[in-house]
Structure 1
Amino acid sequence: MKIKEAVNRIKSTSLSINAWEREGYIHIFWNTFTILVVPYEAKTMFDCHFVNPHIKLPADVKAQISGIIGKFLRTPIRERFPEKKYRLRWIDDSDCSKNYIGLHRPTVNYPIIDWYITSTTDNKLNNYHELWTESELEQLKKDNPRLAPAIDAMKEPAEDKDDED
């Protein structure tokens, strides 16, 4: 379970529960009181910090939060963090607009895999097709070994933005 997923699931357990991620920890609140702090790299419940143990939570909320945190702790630490995203940057146009390589992925309406180049003059990109995870790029290089050096040369980290995942 990824960090953002754990936070969102904890938030959805009750109107009185809130959670957010900050500086390597997931902070969990009941009403306005911090009740639990879970480090991103916690391996067991012993690594978690119970801040206000005297606060009595409803049994159903306690069970739900316990289940979510248990699933989070069973997730390998590497898999908790979102994968970095990249773009494949092509040669810039003469007007200094950036070009990125994208891929029309198969859908029901468009079942053909098709490459395209997106040009942007105002740095606003259609992130739906141009963002690639590290694992997708590795698979792309495995499927097209002759293109592997070009893919490595074109790989550019995407700006960090809040994901809606």
Structure 2
Amino acid sequence: MKIKEAIEVINGSTITVLAEESNGFLHMYRRGFEVCANWFLEMPIDATNWDSICSDWDCLSNIEPQDLARAMDVIQRLLDTPVEERFPEKKYQLVVKRENPFCPKYVSNIITGFDELVFDLSKDEKEARIFSEKELNQIKEREPSLAPAIDAMKKEVKDDED
């Protein structure tokens, strides 16, 4: 389960609990009391067990039991998810700045053959291929001499969801 998904599940399925991420922590509040000091659960987003989760049971007043159960279930699902899988994978475009730095070209495809390597380029950013970090690492492993160029061309693509 991803952090964003956990927040959406809690906020979309509970009446008295609100979840928010801030400063590396997932906080659970009583709805209407979203002040830093009024959380009842504080989970480091890289927590791997319940021992690292802080609780302040004094802030539990007026929380519905089913909402608390939902929050605890979601936390357990997060704890069961490896830390590196809790965050969306970064996505990149490869940008080549040729001739004119104000008119970049975008890699729309990479074609590899037995004895060839071709970069298809486009002036239109909408035609640029979006690569995951994993895909770029695979290309760099296959073609180690390209690694510095790929690293220089990487431009992170932000999803609307992030």
Q: Same fold (TM over 0.5)?
A: yes
Name 2:4's counterpart in structure 1: 4
Name 1:154's counterpart in structure 2: 150
Structure 2: gaps of 5 or more residues: 34-38, 110-118
Q: How far has the Cα of 1:153 moved from its partner?
A: 0.8
Q: How far has the Cα of 1:7 moved from its partner?
A: 1.6
Give aligned pairs, total: 147
- Candidates 117, 130, 137, aligned match of 2:121: 117
Q: What's the C-alpha RMSD, in Å, of the aligned pairs?
A: 2.9
Does residue 138 (structure 1) correspond to residue 137 (structure 2)? The answer is: yes
The whole-number CA distance in structure 2 between the counterparts of 1:148 and 1:89 is: 19
Aligned letter for 2:91? K
Name 2:30's counterpart in structure 1: 30
The whole-number CA distance in structure 2 between the counterparts of 1:62 and 1:16 is: 8
The whole-number CA distance in structure 2 between the counterparts of 1:57 and 1:68 is: 16
Name 1:48's counterpart in structure 2: 53
Structure 1: gaps of 5 or more residues: 104-114
Between the aligned residues of both structures, percent identity stands at 29
The whole-number CA distance in structure 2 between the counterparts of 1:119 and 1:154 is: 18
Aligned letter for 2:55? F
Q: Conserved in 2, the CA contact under 8 Å of 1:84 and 1:157? A: no
Q: Conserved in 2, the CA contact under 8 Å of 1:102 and 1:117? A: yes
Residues 153-162 or 47-56, more deviating: 153-162
Q: Which runs of 4+ in 1 moved over 4 A?
A: none
The whole-number CA distance in structure 2 between the counterparts of 1:35 and 1:51 is: 5
Q: How far has the Cα of 1:23 moved from its partner?
A: 0.8
* Local SS of the residue matching 2:61: coil
Structure with the bigger percentage of helix: 2
* Local SS of the residue matching 1:12: helix
Q: Conserved in 2, the CA contact under 8 Å of 1:85 and 1:157? A: no
